[in-house]
Amino acid sequence: MADKQYLKEKSKGGTGDKASVRVDKKHEFLEKSLKKTKEELKASEERFKNIIEKNADGIIVIDSDGVVHFINPASEALFGLEKKKILGKSFGLPIVEGESSEMTVVHSDGEILWVELRVVESKWEDKSVSLVSVRDITRRKRAEEQLIHNAFHSELTDLPNRALFMDRLGQFCERMEPNEDSSFALLFVDIDRFKVINDSIGLTAGNKVLVTVAKMLESCLSKVDTIAHFGGDEFAILMENIKDLGGVMQVVNRIQSNLVSPVKVDSHEVYVSMSIGIRFGDSHSYDPQALVRDAENAMHRIKEKGGGAYQIFDQEMHTRAVNNVQLELEIRRAIEREEFLVYYQPIVSLSERRITGFEALIRWQHPERGIVSPGEFLPIVNEIGMIIPVCEISLRAACRQNRIWNSIGLPPIYASVNISAVQFSQNDFADSVARILKDTGLDPGLLVLELVEDSLIEDVEANLKILHEVREMGIRISIDDFGTGYSSLSYLKRFPLNTIKIDRSFVMELPDDSEIVSAIITMGKSLKLKVLAEGVETQEQLNFLYNFGCDEIQGYLFSRPIPAEEFTELLHKSDSLLSMIPTGDK
C-alpha cells in the first residue's frame, strides 16, 4: 500500500515523506539484487559451459526426443564428427537416467570404440534435458580382452591352451545328441626328443621350432577343427564330424609329410618327428577329461615303441592305464616302507677264471605279489618322477653289501650299478655318489657305474664334465647295452670309459650270427677298453666269447640274479661253475 501511495503522489507531483523515501531505497535495492543474481547466474552458466567445453569426457545434451542441443569438443573428437553435423539432430544414444552403461560406437574413420555412458536429468536454457557423459574406455576394454585372451591362449604360439580346449571339447560333447550318427577324433601330438633339440640349439631357437610346428599343424587342419597348445611340446587336435578312419589318416599323413624336410630356424636346420595318439569318439563319449587321457595314453604307447608314428587308442590301453595308476600308488608306498631290495648277478673274468664283480639289479618285494621284476615297475617309476630315489636305493644297497663281502675276507670284487639318465643328469650327481661311498665305507675303486649310450649323447659337454668328476674319485664307467644306440667311435674316444657291455640281443645269436660281437670285441681291444658280454646262457656262446678274447661275461649260464645270502654262498663255492670256462689257447 505504501508503494502505491508513493506512486500516486509521484504522479501528482508530490514530494513524498520519509516513508516514501525508504520505499524508494528498498525498491532500488531489490533491482540491484535482481540484477546481481542474474549476473551471477549468467556467470555460473558460463563457468558450467566452460567446464563442459574443457571436460576430457564427452558431454552431450539431449532432449526428450533425442535431439542434441549441445556437444563438447571431447565428444567431437571421440566420434570424429563436427558439431554442426550433430546439433539439432537425433543421435541415437541409449538414455537411462541414473545408470551407467557400456556400448560400442563407430568413429568416423571406421574404428570401433568402447564408451561408458552416464545420464543425469538437468536444465539447459530453461529446458528439461538429459546430460550424457561419454567416457572412452577402449584402452581398458582392450586390456581386459587381452587378459582374457592370454588366460586361454598359449603365450608362445597364440593357440588355444588346455583350459580353452577342454571347455570347447566339453561344449562339443554336450551338443552331440545321444543317438546322433556321427563321430569325432581327438589327436594328442608330442614332439619326439624335444629336450635334445633344446639342448642342441638353445631354448630361444627351440621356442621358434615350436612356433613353426604349431603353424604347420594348423595348416594341416580344416577350419572346423580345433587345435590347442597344451604346453611344452604337446598339442591337441579335435576333428569334428569324422565319417571314417580315412579322414583322420589324411591329416596324420599331411603332418608326417611336412616333417620330411627339416625345420629351419635362424642358422639351424632341425629334423622333427612326432608321436600321435588318436582317440575316436561318438555320441556316447561324454567325458572330455577321459577322452584327452585316452589320446595321451595312446601317444605314450607309440612313444615307448620309438615314436615318429601314430597309435589308435583301444580298451587294452585303458586297462593298462588304470593298472598304472594303482601301481603308482603302490610304488610310492613301497619306497616309504622300504620294500625295494637288490639281487646280485655274478660277473666272471674269463682270463682270471673267477668272479670279479656283480651287477646290482633292483627288485620289488611286493607284500602280496612277491618279487616283482624291474621291467614291470621301472617304466612307471620313471614316469612318475621317482626314478632317482629308487636308483639311489640300488646304489646304496650295492655299495653297502660289497663292503660287507670285503670285510669278511673274501677276494675283492667290484659292484656294477645301473644309473638312469635322469639320475646322471642331476647337477649334484657326483656329490651324491661320493656321499654314498662315504656312508657305506666302500673303496671307490670297487664301484662301476653303468650308463646307456643315449644318456651320454644328449648333452656331451655337460656329461663329459660329470664323467671326469666321477673318474677322478677312482670310480669306473661302463657303457651298458652297447651296440643298440649310437655306437659312435668319436664319443668312445672322448669319454673316459673303462668297459663296454655287449647287449644280450647280440649274444643270444651266437655262435651263428657272430659278426657284430666279434667287431665290438675287436673295437674294444683297439681302444684299450674291457669288453663284457651279458646274457650268456649256453656253453657255445661262452666258448665263442672266450675264443674271441672277450674279457668278462655274465648270464644265466653261471647264475641268475640272486639275493645277497645266496651270492655269499656262490662266492665260497664257485669252482664247479668256473670249470665251464675253456682252457688253453684262444
For the segment 383-388, the average pLDDT, to the nearest whole number, is 83
Beta bridge partners of 362: 342
Strands (E), 300-406: 310-312, 340-349, 354-366, 370-372
Q: Give the amino acid at 270.
A: V
Domain 340-578 matching CATH 3.20.20.450: the answer reads yes
pLDDT > 70? residue 266: yes
Tell me if 60 sits within 8 A of 68, measured CB to CB. Answer: yes
One of 3.40.50.300, 3.90.1170.50, 3.30.70.270, 1.10.3720.10 is the CATH number of 153-313, namely 3.30.70.270
Q: Which residues pair with 269 in a beta bridge?
A: 264
Closest CA to 121 of 64, 41, 49, 57: 64
The values of phi and psi at residue 582, to 5°, are -60, 160
Instruction: Compute the mean pLDDT over every residue in the chain, rounded to the nearest whole number.
Output: 85
pTM above 0.85, yes or no: no
Is the pLDDT at 19 greater than 70, yes or no? no
In the predicted model, what is the mean pLDDT of residues 191-208?
Answer: 88
Answer whether residue 209 shows pLDDT above 90. Answer: yes
Say what the pLDDT of residue 68 is: 85
3-class DSSP assignment, residue 429? helix
Q: pLDDT category, 494, cuts 50, 70, 90? A: confident
Q: How far apart are CA 407 and CA 452, in angstroms?
A: 31
pLDDT grade for 490, boundaries at 50, 70 and 90: low
What pLDDT, on the 0 to 100 scale, is given for residue 227?
95
- Count of C-beta atoms within a 10 Å radius of residue 578: 15
**Distance of alpha carbon 65 from alpha carbon 498, whole angstroms:** 97
Q: Which long-range contacts (CB under 8 A, 24 or more apart) does 296-299 make?
A: 296/188, 297/321, 298/188, 299/188, 299/189, 299/190, 299/275
- 305 confidence band (pLDDT: 50, 70, 90): confident
Which top CATH class is 55-140?
A: alpha beta
**Count of positions (residues) in the chain:** 586
Q: What is the pLDDT of residue 18?
A: 63
Helix (H) / strand (E) containing 56 = none
Mean pLDDT is lowest, of 46-50, 263-267, 269-273, 465-469, for 46-50
Give the H or E element holding residue 257.
helix 245-258
Long-range contacts of 315-320 (CB under 8 A, 24+ apart): 318/294
Residue type, 515: E
* Backbone φ, ψ for residue 233 (5° rounding): -110, 30
Task: Report DSSP state, residue 207.
Answer: H
pLDDT band, very low/low/confident/very high, at 115 (cuts 50, 70, 90): confident
Q: Which three cell numbers stand for residue 144?
A: 581386459
Domain chopping of the chain, boundaries? 55-140, 153-313, 340-578
Interval 39-61 mean pLDDT? 69
Confidence of residue 21 (pLDDT cuts 50, 70, 90): low
Q: Give the percent of the chain with pLDDT over 90.
A: 37
Look at 126 and 308; give whichever has higher pLDDT: 308
CB atoms within 10 A of CB 381: 25
pLDDT in tens, 167-193: 999 888 888 766 566 688 999 999 998
Instruction: Evaluate if residue 2 carries a pLDDT over 60.
Output: no
Average pLDDT over residues 291-296: 92
Distance CA 380, CA 390 (A): 12
Alpha helices (H) in 425-531, listed in sequence order: 429-440, 453-457, 460-472, 489-494, 504-507, 515-526
Most confident of 49-63, 100-114, 203-217, 325-339: 203-217
Q: State the average pLDDT over residues 131-156.
A: 88
Q: Where are the beta strands (DSSP E) in 283-426?
A: 310-312, 340-349, 354-366, 370-372, 414-418
Could you give the angle at which helices 564-572 and 387-407 cross, rounded to 10 degrees? 30
pLDDT value, residue 245: 80
> Which single residue is written with the C-alpha cell 645277497?
564
- 327 or 142, greater pLDDT: 142
Give the tens place of pLDDT for each residue, 412-453.
999 999 999 889 988 889 999 999 999 999 999 999 999 987
Q: Does the CA dihedral 514-520-525-531 come out positive or negative?
A: negative
What the block records as the C-alpha cell of 150 is 592370454
Residues 6+ apart with CB under 8 A from 106: 112, 113
Decide if pLDDT at 323 tops 80. no
Residue 559's pLDDT is 93
Q: What is the pLDDT of residues 349-364, one digit of tens each?
A: 999 999 999 999 999 9
The residue ranking higher by pLDDT, 464 or 177, is: 464
Task: Assess contact for 403 and 440: CB atoms under 8 A.
Answer: yes
Q: Are 355 and 347 in contact (CB under 8 A)?
A: yes
Segment (H or E) for 129: strand 127-136
Using CA atoms, how far apart are residues 428 and 388, in angstroms rounded to an integer? 12
Contact (CB, 8 A) for 393 and 381: no
Q: Which residues contact 244 (CB under 8 A, 6 or more apart)?
A: none
Q: What is the pLDDT of residue 529?
A: 93
22 vs 331, higher pLDDT: 331
pLDDT value of residue 217: 94
Task: Report how far residue 497's alpha carbon sits from residue 2's, in angstroms, rounded to the nearest whole number.
Answer: 129
Q: 229 versus 463: which is more confidently predicted? A: 229
Check residues 520 and 83 and name the one with the higher pLDDT. 520
Q: What are the tens digits of pLDDT across the range 216-241?
A: 999 999 888 999 999 899 999 999 87
